[in-house]
Amino acid sequence: MRRGLGFVLLLLGAFALLLGILAKPVIYDRLATVELDQTSQSISRGENMDALRVSADGVEQLHGVTLVSTRDVVGIPGLAEGDNAFWQTTVESAVEDGPVLTYSEEGVSFDRRTAESTNCCGDFIAVGDAEAPEDPATHEPVEHEGVFFKFPFDTQQQDYQYWDGSLRRGVPAVFQGEELIEGTNAYVFRMTMGPETVSTSQGLPGSLFGTDEPVDADRVYQNVRTVWVEPNTGVILKGLEEQNVRFEAADDSLPVVPITVGTIGYTDETVSANADTYGTKGALLGFINGPLTWVGIVLGLVLLVLGAVLSFGGTRTPRHAEEDGWDENNEWQEQSEWDGADRS
């Protein structure tokens, strides 16, 4: 029984030891990589926002509306090369229960572990024509910088470069601290952009600016973006943007025209779903990347020692007094024999 239990402990110890040794270099390395065929959706919502609607019927200013932004992400394995993934994202912004305001597409290649853009596989950006939403958007090649869809696995408490589509460059994502999101620990990063002129439009309708004459104006981009990141997976659990995108006329006497002004962020449903999914995955990944090595090694060694003792340790059987000839009967018998010898 003891020997059988010992062999069982030896097997368990060997398994635990092997698990601890392989945890980081093999198991973690295989798990800490993004899927090639990713599919996901995030929905953002902003109330009491100002927006500009451009359509075939003209230009319309919208005030105090609720905007909904839907981002769909689809991985395209056929375009991925080496250790890179290629994901395509489409973003549609619309008035809630109303017309579409903008839509865009973007294709991004990035390292499957670090999440850094690699531009290996035909990255592109495309913005549709709001006046003809049925027409396909024109793809333009683009060189991405920094992270785009997510942060690295094992995200650190440091600043990162994060791609901003409006500026078409990476911007500093500055680490702010930690917060709990639906019970899941998250790192908070904040990006502050602008105000910065991103383009200039000529001959805009004067009615937007309260004049009868066409107006030349700069498109000015200003935004504060905050993201909450689950650090083990690098997944963004929650996002919030405080946007102030506007037209500023060359004539300073004319008013500023809002393009997109207000605060918009992930819906509660999106945040909860992200926290539920990636909180669990993150905890498991963090355990494999951290404590599992020492737990496996220490537990494995303890079980191996116990197993060896039970399986191969010697057992002494007490020697019976009868075998040594020291019991009272033997002593009496020996004495009797000597006595008999004396009498003879």
pLDDT 10s per residue in the chain (344 long)?
777 787 788 788 888 888 889 888 899 999 999 999 999 999 999 999 999 998 777 888 999 999 999 999 999 999 999 999 999 999 999 999 988 998 899 999 999 999 999 999 999 998 765 555 556 667 899 999 999 999 999 999 999 999 999 999 999 999 999 999 999 999 999 999 989 999 999 999 999 999 989 999 999 999 999 999 999 999 999 999 999 999 999 998 999 999 999 999 999 999 999 999 999 999 999 999 988 888 888 887 888 888 788 777 755 555 554 445 545 454 444 444 444 444 43
Long-range contacts of 86-90 (CB under 8 A, 24+ apart): 86/121, 86/122, 87/38, 87/149, 89/149
- Is the residue at 84 inside a domain? yes
- Is the residue at 323 inside a domain? no
What's the total number of domains in the chain? 1
Range of the domain at 228: 32-266
- Is the residue at 342 inside a domain? no
- Is the residue at 302 inside a domain? no
- Is the residue at 160 inside a domain? yes
Q: How far is CA 249 from CA 101, 197, 262, in A?
A: 22, 12, 21
- Is the residue at 343 inside a domain? no
- Is the residue at 335 inside a domain? no
Residues paired with residue 40 on neighbouring β-strands, in sequence order = 73
CA dihedral 286, 287, 288, 293 (to 10 degrees): 130
**What's the whole-model pTM score?**
0.84
CB atoms within 10 A of CB 183: 8
- Is the residue at 205 inside a domain? yes
